[in-house]
Amino acid sequence: MTDSEGRPVVVEVYAGTAGDPTTVDDQLEKLRERFGLERVVLVGDRGMLTPPQIAKLQKRPGLGWITALRSGAIRALVQTGALQLFLLDEKNLAGITSPDYPGERLVVGHDPLLEEERWRKR
């Protein structure tokens, strides 16, 4: 865990068999108890902050999160029209909303270098 500047304040190692999502509740309680925090923002990858995990987090006051959607969820946003790709034509970055993610702010980015690399590998 880090402070607002990204400096580590707590390090804990779990058994290799512990999946990332199973560590979240445990760490949240430790944060609240040890540091008396009322608001916590979790930053995690797609494996740690899964949709079921986020559903649990939504029920807890004072919690926020930053993560990435899986490609299927992104495709669904495009198919429903919530994400219109022309928004990325000028800045490669856009903020959108979707009824599939009520109360959430979605930030969409396009990385031309990553796109080029993926095409090259295919």
| 110 backbone φψ class: left, alpha, beta (φ>0; ψ -120 to 50) | beta
Looking at the structure, do residues 34 and 89 belong to the same domain, yes or no? no
What amino acid occupies position 32? R
Asked whether residue 22 carries a pLDDT value surpassing 80, the answer given is no
For residue 46, the enclosing domain spans 1-68
- Look at residue 19 and tell me whether its pLDDT is greater than 80: no
- CA torsion sign, 21 to 22 to 26 to 27? negative
pTM above 0.85, yes or no: no
Q: Does 94 lie in the same domain as 44?
A: no
Q: Are residues 3 and 20 in the same domain?
A: yes
CA distance 5 to 38: 18
